[in-house]
Amino acid sequence: MPNLIRDIPETSGYWGAVWTVCNLPDIHVIADAPVGCYSLLASAVSNYTDAIPNLENITPSFIREAEVMGSGTWPAVENVYKGLHETGKLEGKQLIVVSTAESEMIGSDLSEFMGRLGYNAKFFHSESLTHDEWTGRDRALIWLWENYGGNSATTALEPGLVNIIGPTYGCFNAPADLHEIRRLVEGAGGRINVVFPYEATVADIARLPKAQVNVVMYKEFGHTLANALERPWLYAPMGLRATTDFIRQLAQMLGTTDQAERFIKREKATTLKPIWDMWKGPQGDWYSTTTVGIVATGTYVDGLRAFLGDEMGMPVTLTAARPLRPGDMDNIALRKAIHAGAPSFLFGSINEKIYLSEAGNKMTNFIPAAFPGPIVRRALGTPFMGYAGTVYVVQEIVNRLFETLFNVLPLDTAYGRPAGGPPVAAKPSLPWQPAAKAQLDAALSKLHFLTRISVSQELQMAAETYAHTQHLSEVTPEVVEAVLAGRQGERR
Amino acid sequence: MTAIELPEIELTGPVTAAKPCALHPQAMCPAFGALRVLARIDGAHPVMATDIGCNYGLTFVTHFYGSRKSLLTHQLGTSELMQGDVVEGTRAAIEMAAQEPGCELIPVISLCVAETAGLPEEMLPTRVGNAEVVLVRVPAYAIYSHPETKDVALSTVLARLGEQDGPRADKTVVILGEVFPADPLAIDHLLRRMGVEQTIVLPGRNVGDLRRAGRVGAVAPLHPFYNRTITLFRSWRIPVVGGAPVGISGTYAWIKSLGEMLHLDPVLVNQIAEAERAAAQAVADHQPIEGTVLVTGYEGTELAYARLLIEAGADVPYVSTSIGQDPLVLPDELWLRRHGVRDIIYRKTLEHDVAALDAFKPDFVLGTTPFCNIAKDRGIPALYFTNQLAARPFFLSGGMAATAGFVRNAIAGGARAQWMLDFFAE
Ligand code: SF4
């Protein structure tokens, strides 16, 4: 049975690898690619995932029909190499030639040719016909270490130094999450050695083993490198409990427990104070009745579920990790599920947003939490990770509840009438058949409780008005059905 | 699939002094053009045949620029290729697409990897349920630019759907080209005043329009890259109006030739043509553009934009585009050369545009995002051609007013570009 894919949520190993190695400013990539695989990655998509105008250290071999039909891609790569060399674009750089699905398709393994190029040229086989972007990143990181790195056994540790292994281009919210993890590491008593690859150069790769501890930002990639470095390592945390555990574990490894405990104490009184205040205030009362769904990387799914679900007590009614983990819904199943009904809040990518709009669902609050989808996440103050992340996420949810409430509160109907028009005559209210009432209740139960009162009044009025126009003496199930159908139509 | 000949790039004037080393082609993935126009059709549910990286990139830009439409494909990786599952997977995706509510058309978009592996058309159904299944082959390695795949997509579905039977609607005109939504309304309004009964906009949103397009009285291409589509209309003996209603002289000539072709009342046509010409001239007279502008997009419409800007008073020494040289662009090219444009580059690369930036010291640049990035790095105001120009009217005198006004404003705000550069340079 062929494996069908709807609205693919992750890209290939080629993208993951290039989005990883191109962070290093002293690397230049020749992508063995047709024009589109180059321009989509280097500008059309990166413009809107990472808000960068152009990836400047990548050039395509520009595979065309001649290469596909027989000549192979080496002459094209060699040509591009000459152009880059002659125009000085490779000055002070290390050269990497990266394969793509299309170059792999025509069997173009260029490893043996690298000796003919300068700039320490190396071939990275991205295995794009097999691997997704996350594996691509993981493989690229370990490959960088193996090709440009040092020796963990002989490198002396510097106490207190910590690496952060993780963000690359195409990682949702990376700048803010990185900012927060850096803050936590320093708060716990560590000092940052290398942020790899986000803020690194090739020379930094050999310095990686100096760090006493590694922090891996995401569960999806980076662990292979962390293991190879032969130092203890931790995953970056989400939620109150995991973040506190993280700080304590890190401090234990670094021998800075006193400083870390002071930091945690201070955080509770500052960064985290809003969580405590809202917990005690009216906002906290809403958590247990506000449902949440999460479709994002496994890192975010686990982190948000632990924080919003286990810690804040919000019912998490739908989760699906990308890339898929066993038991998760793929987009074919997820789309059906969202069409049938969605939680009050849905964290996700543009795909989930599309499924909500297909279903005419305007009651669910969509919160961007994953790629794909065009979005700017470059502000440092919007983390999902760490202590600051808990505050940001709760603040987002509460403010959207306020927004929802505002939108359903009644507006004096006079504003909707043409000026000077006759006032609407009051009509006597009508009795409701029990079946009609049951139908109304069923429809209302699908709404977030904050909006129920207003919507209920609106629907009751609409049903009674409709019954009046039909000259009925009571509200029947047919009337409710007609009104609900009309409402559905309006929302589409 | 036949290869598109890449013409020798002809360089004359200052830029040629150092022929740039052309390394960074400037084009959206060509296949996107096809996907975009097909995804926007109501009741069309595209199926892609491709690898996951290509699929992700194209789905991303389609969901951003094309339509909020869910897109289907099948896994096409090492194991599927080894087992020869390309056809089977595509057929399964077609079956699923056919179950979408209101599905009338399933374009099967075959991209680089699937085209290299081979996807024989005779192995695919031509109809499933109520839906026509149409294979559209757009391997990006064989087609250079995304405007050209719009043409491939449109001509392919038209060839299947365009109805030949039934009476000709002699006074119905197909307006050919993806344009800002207000433009077809303005053109329709003008044509109706001249005696045209109806217009159909292609590539549009409606399958019915594709069917009816086979029986119209004339086709008026607004863009110069609908080569295959025009050939198809010609094979149906439907006449094609040359030129496009752009700027002062272009609008005038277009109205006159369309009127003649459809045998409309010459007095009335002349009256309307004169009035449009006067209105466009008034735009140029009262609020002329002053300054040097480079027009360097990848949409295939750059020559027409340059023409309008020149008529509005701008100095345009350099125009570049991703499409190839073609008889359809020749009239605009000749017009531009007569009006002081020194370099016109087809199949351009970033290096061509940068050389022009060095040579011509423009006051304002319309370009691709990588090129705008470079211009702004030098404190030169620049706007992304695709996002900005596609978002306002362009045709007839109203389009001239909107486009020229927009460019005038951009030039006037130029000091800000220098301020930002200084700020970040400090
Ligand atoms: S594989 Fe071909 S069609 Fe797909 S993104 Fe790359 S160039 Fe474009």
Query: In whole numbers, what is the pLDDT of chain A averaged over residues?
Result: 93
Asked if B409 and B311 sit in the same domain, the reply is: yes
Asked if A484 and A428 sit in the same domain, the reply is: yes
Asked if B297 and B317 sit in the same domain, the reply is: yes
Between B56, B71, B116, which is nearest A102 by CB? B116
Residue B5 pLDDT grade (very low, low, confident, very high; cuts 50, 70, 90):
very low
Min Cα separation B175/chain A (Å): 29
Asked if B80 and B93 sit in the same domain, the reply is: yes
Min Cα separation A482/chain B (Å): 22
Residue B112 C-alpha to ligand 1 middle, in angstroms? 6
Q: Which residue, B279, B310, B335, sits at the end of a domain?
A: B279
Assigned domain for A281 exists: yes
Range of the domain at B288: 280-425
CATH of the domain at B43: 3.40.50.1980
Q: How far is CA B371 from CA A18, A303, B399, in A?
A: 21, 40, 25
Asked if A210 and A121 sit in the same domain, the reply is: no
> Do A100 and B53 lie within an 8 Å CB cutoff?
yes
Determine the residue type at B424: F
The closest residue, in CA terms, to atom 4 on ligand 1 is B54
Q: Which residue, A369, A403, A437, sits at the end of a domain?
A: A403
Residue B123 C-alpha to ligand 1 middle, in angstroms? 23
Residue B15 pLDDT grade (very low, low, confident, very high; cuts 50, 70, 90):
low
Asked if B56 and B97 sit in the same domain, the reply is: yes
Compute φ and ψ for A219, nearest 5 degrees.
-70, -20
Spatial CB neighbours of B337, under 8 Å, sequence gap ≥ 6? B344
pLDDT at B167: 92
> A 306-335 residues with CB below 8 A of B?
331-332, 335
- Which chain B positions have a beta carbon within 8 Å of A368's beta carbon? none
Assigned domain for A101 exists: yes
Give yes or no for residue B204 having a pLDDT over 80: yes
Cα nearest neighbour of B112 on chain A? A102
Give yes or no for residue A294 having a pLDDT over 50: yes
pLDDT at B9: 43
Give yes or no for residue B8 having a pLDDT over 90: no
Asked if A96 and A38 sit in the same domain, the reply is: yes
Mutate to test the interface with A, among B59, B60, B351, B371 (most CBs of A within 10 A): B60
Asked if A330 and A380 sit in the same domain, the reply is: yes
pLDDT at A277: 97
Residue A70 pLDDT grade (very low, low, confident, very high; cuts 50, 70, 90):
confident
What the block records as the tokens of B264 is 């409309």
Range of the domain at A288: 273-403
What is the ipTM for the molecules in this complex?
A: 0.92
Asked if B219 and B310 sit in the same domain, the reply is: no
> A 47-106 residues with CB below 8 A of B?
47-48, 53-54, 56, 59-60, 62-68, 80, 83-84, 86-87, 89, 100-102, 105-106
- Smallest Cα–Cα separation from B110: which of B101, B102, B121? B121
Assigned domain for A262 exists: no
What the block records as the tokens of A202 is 């090739």
> B 134-153 residues with CB below 8 A of A?
139-142, 144
Min Cα separation A432/chain B (Å): 35
Lowest mean pLDDT among A81-85, A174-178, A280-284, A430-434: A430-434
Give yes or no for residue A338 having a pLDDT over 70: yes
Asked if A428 and A397 sit in the same domain, the reply is: no
**A480 neighbors A434 (Cβ within 8 angstroms):** no
d(CA A102, CA B181): 37
Asked if B289 and B401 sit in the same domain, the reply is: yes
Q: Looking at the 3D structure of chain A, how many domains does it have?
A: 4
Assigned domain for B16 exists: no
Residue A421 pLDDT grade (very low, low, confident, very high; cuts 50, 70, 90):
low
- Residue A36 Cβ < 6 Å to ligand 1: yes
Q: Which residue, A115, A132, A149, sits at the end of a domain?
A: A132
To the nearest whole percent, how much of chain A has pLDDT over 90?
A: 79
Tell me if chain A has a CB within 8 Å of the CB of B59.
Answer: yes
- Which chain A positions have a beta carbon within 8 Å of B375's beta carbon? none
How many CB atoms are located within 10 Å of the residue A306 CB? 18
Asked if B188 and B267 sit in the same domain, the reply is: yes
Q: Looking at the 3D structure of chain B, how many domains does it have?
A: 3
pLDDT at A423: 60
> Which helix (H) or strand (E) covers residue A32, if one does?
strand A27-32
Tell me if chain A has a CB within 8 Å of the CB of B313.
Answer: no
Asked if A117 and A169 sit in the same domain, the reply is: no
Report CA torsion sign: A324, A327, A332, A335: negative
Asked if A213 and A278 sit in the same domain, the reply is: no
Min Cα separation B174/chain A (Å): 30
Residue B51 C-alpha to ligand 1 middle, in angstroms? 9
Mean pLDDT, to the nearest integer, of A53-58? 95
Query: In whole numbers, what is the pLDDT of chain B averaged over residues?
Result: 92
Q: What is the 3-state secondary structure (H, E, C) of A414-481?
A: HHHCCCCCCCCCCCCCCCECHHHHHHHHHHHHCCCHHHHHHHHHHHHHHHHHHHHHCCCCCECHHHHH
| pTM, to two decimals | 0.92
Instruction: Outline where DSSP puts E strands in A40-160.
Output: 58-60, 94-99, 122-124
pLDDT digits (tens, 9 = 90+) for B359-404: 999 999 999 999 999 999 999 999 988 878 888 899 999 999 999 9
Asked if B411 and B304 sit in the same domain, the reply is: yes
pLDDT digits (tens, 9 = 90+) for A181-226: 999 999 999 999 999 999 999 999 999 999 999 999 999 999 999 9
- Residue A40 Cβ < 6 Å to ligand 1: yes
Asked if B356 and B264 sit in the same domain, the reply is: no
Counting ligand 1 atoms within 8 A of each CB, the residue from A15, A18, A32, A40 with the most, and so the one to mutate, is: A40
d(CA B413, CA B425): 20
pLDDT digits (tens, 9 = 90+) for B282-298: 999 998 999 999 999 99
Min Cα separation A25/chain B (Å): 17
Compute φ and ψ for A371, nearest 5 degrees.
-90, 160
**A256 neighbors A188 (Cβ within 8 angstroms):** yes
Asked if A285 and A369 sit in the same domain, the reply is: yes
Asked if A116 and A165 sit in the same domain, the reply is: no
Residue A245 C-alpha to ligand 1 middle, in angstroms? 45
Asked if B420 and B287 sit in the same domain, the reply is: yes
CATH of the domain at A202: 3.40.50.1980
Q: Which residue, B279, B295, B313, sits at the end of a domain?
A: B279
- Which chain A positions have a beta carbon within 8 Å of B57's beta carbon? 11, 15, 36-37, 40-41, 44-45
Q: Which residue, A403, A434, A469, sits at the end of a domain?
A: A403
Q: CB contacts < 8 Å between A and B, how many? A: 204
Give yes or no for residue B147 having a pLDDT over 50: yes
Asked if B286 and B274 sit in the same domain, the reply is: no
Assigned domain for B362 exists: yes
pLDDT at B13: 52
Asked if B246 and B371 sit in the same domain, the reply is: no
Assigned domain for A266 exists: no
